[in-house]
Structure 1
């Protein structure tokens, strides 16, 4: 019997965990698989190994593991595969298929555009976008955020899209805000490329409050959140991986 295990990042913030759980419930309703469970990489329960145990207890012989992560960095490349390796030791006859994070995808750009359009302020030639990534020591993170920024600029036709990061990579958030404040653009759309609320959003809000530039309009957009477009991506990825078993 097949199962799907949704892997979310995890957070100490109750609202973030609730957002993940609610989103996964919506995904479950769109996919015709009898066993579907949610687990977390860190900071919440159940963890990945326990999530796999639960699927097996419910009768799963093949599990499609779907990471609900924005980019392929340390969690996707190391933490999730290591948890799967541990689970395979416990269940040697179990087949586990690992999917990919959302990555650089057209629908991700559309989500960012939606978050910008939610604001009452229109984009124009006096506007720039500051795209803020979480950050990681994995070099692919900066490469992917740079690619997303280029696609975003092409889709919105704004004259400038800068990137910065909250941790581990330069330019830092402080660097990004400083450069934007020195630019001649009057409207700066600050876009957190984050999936859920939490400490990092509060960090961005605090930094923006500290800015004293009077000739700039700083527009903080909502974090990406569990947008309906993500449901489409998850359903498509799940169906491909589930069908792979039938063709084997």
Structure 2
């Protein structure tokens, strides 16, 4: 029997964890696999080890692990796989299949389009977008977000889409704001490429307010991505991919 284990990042902010759990419970309802569990990589419970063991206790012979992470980085490539390698040794008779994270996907561009649209502001020739990623020392993060920025530029017909990061990658948010201040664009849509609210969103708001002093430009802070239904669809695809194709879902339907 197959199981699906969703690995969420985790946060010190209780609301962020509650939002993540609520979203994953919705995903579970739409993926017809009998055994499904969630866990957190860090900062919250249950842990990967606890949830993995729970899958086995419920009768799983195969566990499909889905990293619920926006971009391909160290968490997805090292931290989660390393912990899974350690935990899976306790259950040598259980097969473990590891999925790729959300990554570059057309649905993510559609969510960005929605975040721009819900501001009620007109995107015109004086408009540009600044995408803010969490950041990582892993170059694949910059690769992925730059690719998404290119897709958004084409999809929305925007003259310019820049990227920046809150930590561990360049340019940082303050540097990026200084760069866009020097641009010809008068209207800057700032979109946090984040799944959940919390400390980072507060940092963005404070930094933008500080940057607004003596400026003739309009900075429009959009809503963060959130746990959007279109992400649900991506996770379902990841389950199917890791399970070897449509058969995994269809045989449980």
Shorter-chain TM band? over 0.9
Q: Structure 2: where are the runs of 5+ without partners? A: 249-253
Q: The residue matched to 2:104 in structure 1 has which SS?
A: coil
For the residues of structure 2 that align with 1:163 and 1:232, how far apart are their CA atoms?
25
Alpha-carbon shift at residue 50 of structure 1 (Å): 1.4
Counterpart position of 2:219: 218
For the residues of structure 2 that align with 1:31 and 1:238, how far apart are their CA atoms?
9
For the residues of structure 1 that align with 2:208 and 2:136, how far apart are their CA atoms?
22
Alpha-carbon shift at residue 60 of structure 1 (Å): 1.1
**Are the counterparts in 2 of residues 181 and 213 from structure 1 also a CA contact under 8 Å?**
no
Count of matched residue pairs: 247
Q: The residue matched to 1:15 in structure 2 has which SS?
A: helix
Is 1:13–2:13 an aligned residue pair? yes
Q: Deviations over 1:12-49 (max 9, x none)?
A: 10111011001001101111111111101111111111
Runs of 4+ in 1 over 4 A off after TM superposition: 243-247
After superposition, residues 165-244 of structure 1 pair within 5 angstroms as: 165-211=165-211, 212-243=213-244
Q: The residue matched to 2:137 in structure 1 has which SS?
A: coil
**Are the counterparts in 2 of residues 191 and 222 from structure 1 also a CA contact under 8 Å?**
yes
**Are the counterparts in 1 of residues 240 and 246 from structure 2 also a CA contact under 8 Å?**
no
Q: The residue matched to 1:90 in structure 2 has which SS?
A: coil
After superposition, residues 5-154 of structure 1 pair within 5 angstroms as: 5-154=5-154
For the residues of structure 2 that align with 1:151 and 1:178, how far apart are their CA atoms?
24
Output the aligned Cα RMSD: 1.4
Counterpart position of 2:251: none
Taking structure 2 as the reference length, what is the TM-score of the superposition? 0.94
Q: The residue matched to 1:210 in structure 2 has which SS?
A: helix
Stretch deviating more after TM superposition (62-71 or 179-188): 179-188
Q: The residue matched to 2:188 in structure 1 has which SS?
A: strand
Q: The residue matched to 1:71 in structure 2 has which SS?
A: coil
Is 1:161–2:168 an aligned residue pair? no
Alpha-carbon shift at residue 236 of structure 1 (Å): 2.1
Q: The residue matched to 2:45 in structure 1 has which SS?
A: coil
Q: In 2 relative to 1, CA 113–165 (structure 1 residues): closer, same or farther, beyond 3 Å?
A: same
Taking structure 1 as the reference length, what is the TM-score of the superposition? 0.96
Q: Structure 1: where are the runs of 5+ without partners? A: none
Q: The residue matched to 2:155 in structure 1 has which SS?
A: helix
Q: Deviations over 1:112-157 (max 9, x none)?
A: 1111111021211010100111110101111111111111101111
For the residues of structure 1 that align with 2:242 and 2:144, how far apart are their CA atoms?
24
Q: Deviations over 1:190-241 (max 9, x none)?
A: 0111111111111100101112133111100011111110111111221333
For the residues of structure 2 that align with 1:89 and 1:163, how far apart are their CA atoms?
40
